[in-house]
Amino acid sequence: MISLCKRTVFAFSLFALSGCTHVAPYQREQLAKPTMDTQEREEMRLQIYTHVYEAREGGMPGTDRAGGGCGCN
């Protein structure tokens, strides 16, 4: 039983370490995709949420926002 546990741990650690590699400077450009930029995604998410919020709250009286009130535009 202990031998099986040792083999399993060894196989798992070997599998986990196989994903680690050195990336050359000229290869980093290919790995840095624009979709990995979290700041750009957060800005877009904020714009979408702001649009939905304004559409919903625009239907309430007393605000200067135009909207249908349901957020379906």
Q: Which tokens sit at 9?
A: 């741990």
pLDDT band at 72 (very low <50, low <70, confident <90, very high): low
CA atoms within 13 A on the CB side of 47: 6
> Which residues, including other chains, have CB under 8 Å from residue 40's CB and lie 6 or more apart?
34
Please indicate, yes or no, whether the overall pTM of this predicted structure exceeds 0.85: no
* Average of per-residue pLDDT across 56-61: 62
Give the closest residue to 71 by CA, choosing from 57, 42, 61. Answer: 57
What is the C-alpha separation between 45 and 68, in angstroms, rounded?
21
